[in-house]
Amino acid sequence: MGITEIVVILIVAVVVFGPEQLPTLVKRITGLLRRFHAVKSEVSQQLDQAMLGEQLKDNEEKAATADEKYASKVS
């Protein structure tokens, strides 16, 4: 977003909400963005943990299969 778009958005916000309500609106939007980022981070961490869990299961299955193959060749 360029500087001209930001200026236009600010002018429209001042006209629509008025200069008295603008600080409150900015605080609310900032709070919502912080919450959004926190939730996004938490979801991302949970997905990463789930993927690692799946990779661990796959590796355990591969190891068990390899162990069985090795045991059958040794016998």
- The C-alpha atoms of residue 2 and residue 6 are separated, in whole angstroms, by 7
Amino acid present at 29: I
Residue 75 reports pLDDT greater than 70: no
Task: Supply 74's token pair.
Answer: 């040794």
Average of pLDDT values for 25-43? 94
Q: What is the enclosing helix (H) or strand (E) of 75?
A: none
Q: Pick left, alpha or beta for residue 2 (phi over 0 → left; psi -120 to 50 → alpha; otherwise beta).
A: beta
- The C-alpha atoms of residue 31 and residue 48 are separated, in whole angstroms, by 26
- pLDDT given for residue 53 in this prediction: 87
